[in-house]
Amino acid sequence: MAYTAEISRANPSCFLFLIDQSGSMQDVVDPANIQPMAHPLVVDGRNYTHTAQGRTKAQGVCEAINRLLYDIVLRCSKETGIYDYFEIGVVGYGGAGVRPAFGGVLASRDLVTISEIGNNPIRIEQRKKKEDDGAGGIFERTVKFPVWLDPTASGGTPMCEALARARSILSGWLPQHPNCFPPVVIHISDGESTDGEPLEAMRSLTSLSSNDGNVLLFNLHISGNPNAKPISFPDSPVGLPDQYARTMFEGASMLTSLMRTIAQQHGFNLSDGAKGFVLNADMVLVVQALDIGTRAANMADR
């Protein structure tokens, strides 16, 4: 399949985020496990280098997704308004079950247009941002930071139910958009499924397709386990530490050619068989993976 369909208001695509909100997401990200970078990570002009140090995994994930949503809003913004190139859903799963994770007026909705997202944050926070003053110094300025979802963490990990919910959502969406660039599902988890073996549910999800290709699934494991070597976009399960990691690898989709090109811009040198799977990632790598997954599309300027 080609994965070359143009994305426009007449032919939008879809991003669906599945977020683990189980109790283990309350664990604090250890700054000692975050590798220093020679240069700041900048995505669409935003510095993400220190996104999640000292925060819980749940806070780090919400921070990354809120920033990403804002970036997508900006990508879709024209002089005349926000163009609806995408519909987006965020589904959380944990002790509260499987449910939409947006807050505010978007709460309880499976999918919303990007213009609805841009116009309806829960709140807009004031953040301090450090910048180079051009003369060898650093200064701080206040920037606006819109928030669409807040962190939560409790209970078990009903991963199979969450994947089934994603399939149900996209099964309803795809017949309305048969020629779309296929939906991209980005699944972020730090634990093992507590409601069964998820591989078959992953395969069922990625069996869905438009005329341009099958649904694409990214599996991002954000475990802080220092004994598991970080692995990014591998082309084989060699070196994965356990069956859970191998399942997440097997269920992930292969990156498209354009996704591999985006990955190269982030410094990755990947084979043609590279998969959308990341193990033991800090938040910097999660943001890189989110950018690779959501920029790999041909957006029309109309």
The pLDDT score that the predictor gives to residue 1 is 56
The domain of 126 spans 6-299
1 assigned to some structural domain = no
β-bridge pairing 231-232 and 277-279? antiparallel
On whether the CB atoms of residues 10 and 301 are closer than 8 A, the answer is no
Is residue 216 included in any domain, yes or no? yes
Is the pLDDT assigned to residue 260 strictly greater than 60? yes
| CA 23/CA 156 separation, integer angstroms | 7
Kindly state the DSSP code that residue 41 receives in the 8-state scheme.
-
Of 94-103, 124-133, 219-228, 293-302, least confident by mean pLDDT is 293-302
Neighbours of 172 (CB within 10 A): 11
158 in any annotated domain: yes
Name the residue type at position 97. G
Q: What are phi and psi of 183, to 5 degrees?
A: -55, 145
CATH code assigned at 159: 3.40.50.410
pLDDT digits (tens, 9 = 90+) for 194-248: 999 999 999 999 999 999 999 999 999 876 666 678 899 999 999 888 888 899 9
pLDDT value of position 140? 78
| Tens digits of residue pLDDT in 84-112 | 999 999 999 999 999 999 999 999 999 99
User: 254's torsion region: left (phi>0), alpha (psi -120 to 50) or beta?
Assistant: beta
| pTM of this structure | 0.87
Q: What percentage of the chain reaches a pLDDT higher than 70?
A: 85
CA distance 172 to 28: 37
User: Which distant-in-sequence residues (6+ apart) come within 8 Å of 182 by Cβ?
Assistant: 1, 3, 5, 13, 209, 210, 212, 213, 214, 215, 216
So what's the pLDDT on residue 39?
31
Please check whether residue 67 lies inside any domain of the structure: yes
**Based on the structure, what is the number of domains in the chain?**
1
End-to-end CA gap in the chain:
25
